[in-house]
Amino acid sequence: MSLCEIVNVSEEKLYETVFVILRMIIFDMTMEESIIYTTWYRSPCGDMLLGSFGGALCLCDWAARRNRAGTDSMIRRLSGARYVASESDVTRLAALQLDEYFAGVRTSFDLPLRLFGTEFRLKVWNALSEIGYGEVVSYRDLALRVGDVRAVRAVAAAVGANPVSIVVPCHRVIGSDGRLVGYAGGLEAKRRLLEIERCPGCAVR
């Protein structure tokens, strides 16, 4: 007995129904891909906006950032997605791991990431991700890791544009003299993050 006989519909009607169902599934997947789910996280150092796209974390940024709107505009433009204020599995997991980090019981993050930026910025952010917990490097050191010591200013700009703070640890980049310079969340937040990690190579001043 054929499927058409079982459900008592014509073959044409069956194909039409299957086509509609498939189209709905594809539409739902497309809609899911075009949404960045955002939620606020209240850290001990200040409020942060978490965002997920396609099952990965794409945003963990400070509310106090001077160019907060610029960061959001960049992500929207490069992702082609819109922000929707709603939690996701990824943002909930990120919040949990951030809680553990601030409690001093987590030294690395286990989160899927989706970063939006230029090729150069992505290269710098990848280098940032390789700076270990409790380690600090200077902007010059980071430029060397990226492969061009002459690009210190460009590297510094890329560090400042990092949209996934803490998880991609831009707070571990300091001045050559050990001083704290430049941070989207403010120098006090940077100081507190380094104190959590007890960075031995940083003067934290």
DSSP annotation string for 133-164: TT--EEHHHHHHHHT-GGGHHHHHHHHHT-SB
Tokens of 26: 């594809």
58 is catalytic: no
Asked if 196 and 101 count as a contact pair (C-beta separation under 8 A), the reply is yes
Q: What is the rounded CA–CA span in Å between residue 147 and residue 178?
A: 22
Please give the biggest Cα pair distance in the chain: 81
**From 60, 170, 199, 202, the catalytic residue:** 170
DSSP annotation string for 71-140: HHHHHHHHHT-EEEE---HHHHHHHHHHHHHHTT--SS----B---S-HHHHHHHHHHHTSPTT--EEHH
- 36's CB contacts (< 8 A; 6+ apart) are 51, 52, 53, 58, 59, 75, 76, 79, 81, 82, 83, 84
**Residues with catalytic roles:** 170
